[in-house]
C-alpha cells in the first residue's frame, strides 16, 4: 500500500509539473484557453469517464518465425485520457497473474484542454519472452498501482521486428513484429486513436456499413471478393486489383488509416497486420521534403498525400522510430501549400485545407509541439471565416465558399464542395478533440444548413421506382449546377457524416432540426443502395470491387465513427 500511495503521489507531482511546463511555454493564460470550451457537454461526451485504475486484456499473437524462440516483444498501448500519468504505474501481468519484467516508455501525452490531461496517451511496453508455441495468449496491462518488475536493459528496436515474407509488399522494406498485440475493440473505440468508435456488433443498424468496409478492404488488400465469372478471368487482378506499390492514386485520402479502422472496429489480426505493413510502405515512399515518391517525377509536394494520421496511429501502436522520422518529413508539407484563402489565388480547395489541418493536428498529437496546434487552429479559422465572413461578392451559404475556377471547374462564380467539406469536417473533428474549440459545432451546423437548403437534389434514375436525394459535386445558391447523378451518388455516405454530427450537437444542446434527420435518412438510403446486396441465391458470391481505388478511403475513413455518433443521446 505504501508503494501504491507513493506511486500515486509521484503521478500527481508529474501531472502538476506538466501543467506548469505548459503554462511557462505557452504563457498565461495558455493559448488553448483563449479558444476552448472543455466543459461543453457535447465535447466531454466524446471522452469516456476517467479510469485511474484498471486491467486491459491484450491478446499476443506470436509471429510464426518467433516460435520456439526467446524474442523481444514490443507494442504500444493507447489510453483514453484520465487513466495514468506516471509510466511507473503501468505493469504487465502474464496469464498466471504474475508481473512480467517490462520497460515502459511514454510515446505521447494527452494535453490540456482535454479532460483529465496531462496524462499518458500511448505507452510502449517492451519485454523478453519465450514463444513456445504459435497459439495466441492473453496477458493484462494493469495501471493504477506501482510496477514491481522493471526490465532495465535497453534493446535496439530492430530486435522486435523481423522482415516480412508477405509478397504484397517489398520484403526488405516491410517488417512484422515478433508478436502482434491485439486490444478489444471496446478499448480501441474509447481510446480516440481515430475519433470515438462503436465496436462491431454494438450498432445493428449499421451492420451494412461494417460489412461493406470489410468487403472492400479485401480489394484494397488485393484479395478482391469476386463472382465466379470474375474469378475465372486470367487478368482478374489487373481488372479489379489495386496497384498500390506503383501508383499514387490508391493512397489518396489515406488508405492505411482506413485499414487500421477495420481493426479498431473488429479487433481482428488480419486488417491490423495489413495496416502495419501498408503504413510502412507509405513511409518508405516519403521523400526528405515530404513529397510522395509515387507521384509523377517533377510534381510539386502535395499535402493530399501527407498521410500523417496513419503515421500517428502507427506510432501510438508500435513506437517504431521510422514513423516519427517520416512524420518530420510530412510536416514539411505544411510549408508547401499556403492555406490562406484569396479570390485571386489560382487554385484552392476544401480538401487541401482539410489535409493541411490534419497534418498539423495529427503531428501535434504525436509530439506535443504547440506550434503545430497553432497551425491547425489557423487552418480551422480560415475555414470558419469563409462560412461567417465570405469574400466580397460571395454568397453567404454557410459553406467554405471559393471561386469555381480555383476548383478547376468549368463554370463561373462561387462554389463549395459538399464531399470535400466532409473531408474538412473529419480533420476539424480531430482538431476539436484536442482543442475543445467551441466554433466547431457552429461550423458543422452551418454546413448542415447548407446541405439542406442548397447542396442536394432529387433524381430518378432510369428504371428506378423512386427519386433519390444526392449531393452536388459542387453547389452554390449563385449558380445552377449541372446534374451528374452517377458521380454524385458516390458521396451520399461521406456527406451524411456532416448531418450526423450536426444532430449530435443538437441533441447535446436540447435542440432539434427535423430537416437534418430527413436529409440524413435520404442520403443513407442512397448510400445503402450503392453498396453490394447479399445474394439470396445459395452459393452465389457477392463481389466487392471499387473504382477508383481512392473511393475506399473517402467512403470509410471519414464515416467509421458515425455509428457511435448516431447512438448518442
Residue 534: CATH number of its domain: 1.50.10.10
Same domain, 281 and 416: yes
Flag whether 501 is in a domain. yes
C-alpha cell at 514: 427535423
State residue 13's pLDDT score.
36
Same domain, 311 and 231: yes
Q: Which of 146, 163, 183 is the last residue of a domain?
A: 183
Same domain, 132 and 215: no
Distances (CA, A) of 434 to 257, 427, 455: 19, 12, 30
Same domain, 177 and 241: no
Same domain, 159 and 223: no
Residue 532 DSSP label: P
State residue 33's pLDDT score.
58
H or E stretch covering 102: none
| Spatial contact of 516 and 540, defined as CB atoms under 8 Å apart | no
Flag whether 62 is in a domain. yes
Burial of 9 (0-12, 13-18, 19+ CB in 10 A): exposed
Same domain, 433 and 536: yes
- Overall number of domains in the chain: 2
Same domain, 543 and 397: yes
Domain that holds residue 174: 2-183
State residue 18's pLDDT score.
43
Same domain, 267 and 154: no
Flag whether 265 is in a domain. yes
- Reply yes or no: is the peptide bond before residue 118 cis, omega within 30 of 0: yes
Flag whether 188 is in a domain. no
Flag whether 55 is in a domain. yes
**What does each of the 569 residues of the chain score in pLDDT, given as a tens digit?**
333 333 333 343 334 444 444 433 334 445 555 688 999 999 999 999 999 999 999 999 999 999 999 999 999 999 999 999 999 999 999 999 999 999 999 999 999 999 999 999 999 999 999 998 889 999 999 999 999 999 988 888 999 999 998 889 998 899 999 999 999 999 999 999 999 999 999 999 999 999 999 999 999 999 999 999 999 999 999 999 999 999 999 999 999 999 999 999 999 999 999 999 999 999 999 999 999 999 999 899 999 999 999 999 999 999 999 999 999 999 999 999 999 999 999 999 999 999 999 999 999 999 999 999 999 999 999 999 999 999 999 999 999 999 999 988 888 899 999 999 999 999 999 999 999 999 999 999 999 999 999 999 999 988 888 999 999 999 999 878 888 999 999 999 999 999 999 999 999 999 999 999 999 999 999 999 999 988 778 878 999 999 999 999 999 999 999 999 999 99
Same domain, 285 and 361: yes
| Spatial contact of 282 and 307, defined as CB atoms under 8 Å apart | yes
Flag whether 388 is in a domain. yes
Q: Which of 183, 214, 231 is the last residue of a domain?
A: 183
Same domain, 78 and 209: no
> Residues 6 or more apart from 538 whose CB is under 8 A from it?
none
C-alpha cell at 385: 471565416
State residue 333's pLDDT score.
98
Q: Which of 183, 214, 241 is the last residue of a domain?
A: 183
State residue 539's pLDDT score.
77
Flag whether 189 is in a domain. no
Burial of 398 (0-12, 13-18, 19+ CB in 10 A): buried
Same domain, 101 and 216: no
Q: State how far the Cα of 370 lies from the Cα of 378, in Å rounded to an integer.
A: 12
Same domain, 260 and 383: yes
> Could you tell me the CATH number of the domain that includes residue 125?
2.60.40
Amino acid at each position: 500500500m505504501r508503494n501504491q500511495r507513493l506511486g500515486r503521489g509521484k503521478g500527481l507531482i508529474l501531472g502538476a509539473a506538466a501543467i506548469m511546463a505548459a503554462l511557462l511555454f505557452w504563457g498565461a493564460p495558455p493559448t488553448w484557453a483563449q479558444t476552448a470550451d472543455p466543459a461543453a457537454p457535447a465535447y466531454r461526451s466524446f471522452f469516456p469517464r476517467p479510469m485511474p485504475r484498471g486491467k486491459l486484456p491484450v491478446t499476443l499473437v506470436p509471429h510464426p518465425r518467433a516460435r520456439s524462440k526467446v524474442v523481444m516483444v514490443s507494442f504500444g498501448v493507447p489510453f483514453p485520457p484520465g487513466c495514468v500519468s506516471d509510466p511507473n504505474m503501468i505493469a504487465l501481468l502474464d496469464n498466471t497473474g504474475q508481473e512480467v519484467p517490462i520497460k515502459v516508455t511514454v510515446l505521447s501525452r494527452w494535453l490540456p484542454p482535454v479532460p483529465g490531461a496531462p496524462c499518458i496517451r500511448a505507452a510502449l511496453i517492451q519485454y523478453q519472452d519465450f514463444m513456445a508455441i504459435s497459439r495466441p495468449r492473453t496477458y493484462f496491462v494493469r495501471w493504477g498501482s506501482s510496477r514491481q518488475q522493471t526490465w532495465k536493459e535497453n534493446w535496439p528496436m530492430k530486435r522486435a521486428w523481423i522482415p516480412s515474407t508477405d509478397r504484397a509488399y517489398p520484403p526488405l522494406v516491410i517488417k512484422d513484429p515478433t508478436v502482434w498485440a491485439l486490444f478489444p475493440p471496446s478499448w480501441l473505440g474509447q481510446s480516440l486513436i481515430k475519433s470515438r468508435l462503436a465496436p462491431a456488433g454494438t450498432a445493428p443498424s449499421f451492420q451494412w456499413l461494417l460489412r461493406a468496409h470489410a468487403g472492400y478492404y479485401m480489394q484494397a488488400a488485393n484479395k478482391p471478393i469476386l463472382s465466379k465469372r470474375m474469378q475465372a478471368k486470367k487478368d482478374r487482378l489487373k481488372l479489379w486489383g489495386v496497384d498500390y506499390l506503383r501508383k499514387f492514386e490508391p493512397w489518396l485520402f489515406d488508405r492505411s488509416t482506413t485499414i487500421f479502422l477495420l481493426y479498431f472496429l473488429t479487433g481482428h489480426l488480419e486488417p491490423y497486420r495489413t495496416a502495419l505493413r501498408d503504413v510502412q510502405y507509405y513511409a518508405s515512399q516519403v521523400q526528405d521534403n515530404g513529397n510522395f515518391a509515387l507521384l509523377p517525377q517533377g510534381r510539386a509536394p502535395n499535402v493530399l498525400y501527407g498521410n500523417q494520421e496513419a503515421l500517428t496511429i502507427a506510432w501510438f501502436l508500435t513506437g517504431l522510430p521510422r514513423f516519427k522520422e517520416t512524420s518530420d518529413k510530412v510536416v514539411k508539407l505544411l510549408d508547401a501549400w499556403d492555406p490562406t484563402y484569396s479570390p485571386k489565388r489560382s487554385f484552392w480547395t476544401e480538401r487541401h485545407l482539410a489535409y493541411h489541418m490534419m497534418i498539423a493536428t495529427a503531428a501535434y498529437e504525436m509530439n506535443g509541439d504547440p506550434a503545430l496546434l497553432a497551425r491547425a487552429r489557423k487552418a480551422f479559422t480560415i475555414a470558419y471565416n469563409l462560412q461567417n465572413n465570405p469574400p466580397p461578392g460571395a454568397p453567404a451559404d454557410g459553406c467554405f465558399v471559393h471561386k469555381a475556377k480555383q476548383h478547376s471547374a468549368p463554370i463561373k462564380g462561387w462554389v463549395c464542395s459538399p464531399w470535400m467539406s466532409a473531408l474538412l469536417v473529419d480533420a476539424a473533428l480531430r482538431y476539436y478533440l484536442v482543442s475543445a474549440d467551441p466554433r466547431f459545432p457552429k461550423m458543422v451546423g452551418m454546413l448542415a444548413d447548407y446541405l439542406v437548403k442548397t447542396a442536394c437534389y432529387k433524381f430518378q434514375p432510369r428504371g428506378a421506382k423512386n427519386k433519390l436525394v444526392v449531393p452536388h459535386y459542387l453547389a452554390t445558391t449563385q449558380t445552377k449546377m449541372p446534374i451528374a447523378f452517377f458521380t454524385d451518388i458516390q458521396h451520399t455516405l461521406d456527406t451524411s457524416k456532416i448531418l450526423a454530427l450536426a444532430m449530435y450537437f443538437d441533441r447535446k444542446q436540447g435542440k432539434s432540426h427535423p430537416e437534418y434527420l430527413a436529409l440524413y435518412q435520404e442520403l443513407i438510403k442512397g448510400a445503402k443502395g450503392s453498396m453490394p446486396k447479399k445474394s439470396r441465391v445459395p452459393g452465389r458470391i457477392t463481389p466487392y470491387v471499387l473504382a477508383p481505388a481512392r473511393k475506399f478511403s473517402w467512403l470509410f475513413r471519414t464515416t467509421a465513427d458515425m455509428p457511435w455518433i448516431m447512438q448518442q443521446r
